[in-house]
Amino acid sequence: MIAIAILAAGRGTRMKSDLPKVLHELGGRTLVERVLQSCQEIEISRRLVIVGYRSELVKESLIEAQETTKDREFPPLEFVEQTEQLGTGHAIQQLLPHLEGFPGDLLVLNGDVPLLRAETIKQLMAVHKQHQNSATILTANLPDPQGYGRVFTDSQNLVQQIIEDRDCTQAQKQNHRINAGVYCFHWPDLEKILPDLKADNDQKEYYLTDTVSSLSPVMAVDVEDYQEILGINDRKHLATTSDILQTRIKDKWLRAGVTLIDPHSITIDDTVELQADVVIEPQTHLRGKTSIASRSRIGPGSLIENSQIGENVTVLYSVISDSIVAENSRIGPYAHLRGHAQIGANCRIGNFVELKNAQIGDRTNIAHLSYLGDATLGEKVNIGAGTITANYDGKNKHKTQIGSGTKIGSNSVLVAPITLGENVTVAAGSVVTEEVPNDCLVIARSRQVVKPGWKLKEPEK
Ligand code: UD1
Ligand code: CA
């Protein structure tokens, strides 16, 4: 039986942020969500998260993330409050009433190690089980171990002691083997010694790491790639891990048949799905639950978030959020699709067009300088340059409907709520305020007046 506990109560003072450290984001997920995710491949019976600093925020965020990922097969999250943050050992002490008599192993993870691989945790658990250790800890040899606890082992490679960087002597600092902040404890053993922890160190905190000196045997398992155990303590660490994660994500898509042009200028959240033969051009950012189908070319200079892009679509210098674009459509340059815009197949949404909550039928063109909000357009509609839906009366938003085959002349205003039928032609410069039936011409502007021979009067001297 395995329970996991995630340490997520600290503020993360070194982040210099109002937000709890574990809620900072990396590649579209919070740090703590990533840590939880790294345990997804092991069979667990309980999931405990220790929260403290702004605990409501941390709980809400985890519950929300869990709902969207639908990881229902996992045991529910149990939140344990650590009202005062007196150290990692003190945090685990808060579990005592919750895990009383629990006979299994407790996997403890710091909430700030976001790049950990599921495979690594499995290896740690395997060693723990094979040797029936009292504790097994994850370690790494870091080129720059500054800030990490150092792990000291005896001649048989059994862990004797972990000493925090700030408590190390100069000689002890020469040891580059560090504690990754990922541990597996045999809970009945830990339970016995936990109450005896002393805050006998530079920070006057109760250290979880001190427990290893009272347990035996304790083994260390080195990770092969130290990058995955980097802990986030400040913004510099966040930036470094972000780079590592981006490299991981891009390598995955390159192997899967996606072309990335100038990869360093592109960012892709790991919640994004791409098909083979997608081309991503420079300075393009793909975020959230976005998917892009085969043969589509995105960028340069585009931002797409929480949107679905069909096959063979081009998006050029545009911003698309919470929207859907069907196959063969061309978006941009300089289009903005938002608020659940839905673009049909073979459409052209062109220069300086903003669409909000607009459903656009197949083969419809909105090529230049338009704003359409809360609108439904049929198929093969043509919207002339500069057409605007006046959808807001200062209080409420109203709907515009335009039937298939209708052509709106340039610089028209459609004052919502309004319905225009099919195969309507609206004369350029019209302000349409009343319902328009099928198959007609609408001219809603004043006539041009020409006065022959008329001249401005000469000013009197
Ligand atoms: C900790 C380890 C260190 C290890 C490093 C790995 C201890 C004493 N030190 O140091 O050996 O090399 O992680 O990254 O454990 N937290 C709480 N309650 C508290 C204090 C912290 O929940 O009272 C949480 C934090 O939110 C964080 C995690 O524990 O997620 C680690 O705390 P942090 O202060 O970052 O520990 P480090 O100094 O990095
Ligand atoms: Ca840390």
Q: Which residue CA neighbors atom 36 of ligand 1 most closely? A: 88
Amino acid 381: pLDDT: 98
295 contacts: CB under 8 Å, gap ≥ 6: 277, 278, 311, 312
106 forms beta bridges with 3, 185
What is the Å distance from ligand 2's center to 298 Cα? 37
What is the Å distance from ligand 1's center to 84 Cα? 14
Amino acid 66: pLDDT: 83
**350-406 pLDDT, tens per residue?**
999 999 999 999 999 999 999 999 999 999 999 999 999 999 999 999 999 999 999
CB burial readout 102-122, b (16+ within 10 A) else e? beebbbbbbbbbbbbbeebbe
Amino acid 287: pLDDT: 98
Closest ligand 1 atom, residue 87 Cα: 23
What is the Å distance from ligand 1's center to 213 Cα? 18
Amino acid 223: pLDDT: 96
Q: Which ligand is nearest to the CA of 80?
A: 1
How far is the C-alpha of 328 from the C-alpha of 345, rounded, in Å?
Answer: 6
**228-284 pLDDT, tens per residue?**
999 999 999 999 999 999 999 999 999 999 999 999 999 999 999 999 999 999 999
In this prediction, residue 202 has a pLDDT band, given cuts at 50, 70 and 90, of very high
**6-27 pLDDT, tens per residue?**
999 999 999 999 999 999 999 9
- Which among 43, 33, 48 is positioned nearest to 113, based on CA atoms? 33
Question: Peptide bond preceding 417: is omega within 30 degrees of 0, i.e. cis?
Answer: yes
Amino acid 396: pLDDT: 95
What is the Å distance from ligand 2's center to 112 Cα? 6
**31, 88, 197: which to mutate for ligand 1, most atoms within 8 A of CB?**
88
Q: Which CATH class is domain 2-234?
A: alpha beta
The structural domains of the chain, with segments of one domain joined by +, span 2-234, 236-442
Closest ligand 1 atom, residue 84 Cα: 23
* Least confident interval from 74-78, 210-214, 309-313, 338-342: 74-78
How far is the C-alpha of 439 from the C-alpha of 165, rounded, in Å?
Answer: 80
Pocket of ligand 1 (CB under 6 A): 7-10, 21-22, 50, 82, 85-88, 90-91, 110-112, 148-149, 162, 164, 178-181, 207-209, 231, 233
Amino acid 73: pLDDT: 78
Closest ligand 1 atom, residue 86 Cα: 23
**87-142 pLDDT, tens per residue?**
999 999 999 999 999 999 999 999 999 999 999 999 999 999 999 999 999 999 99
How far is the C-alpha of 13 from the C-alpha of 260, rounded, in Å?
Answer: 37
Q: Which ligand is nearest to the CA of 94?
A: 1
- CATH level 2 (architecture), domain 236-442: 3 Solenoid (2.160)
Burial of 213 (0-12, 13-18, 19+ CB in 10 A): middle
In this prediction, residue 67 has a pLDDT band, given cuts at 50, 70 and 90, of confident
How far is the C-alpha of 185 from the C-alpha of 82, rounded, in Å?
Answer: 20
222 forms beta bridges with 139
Amino acid 71: pLDDT: 56
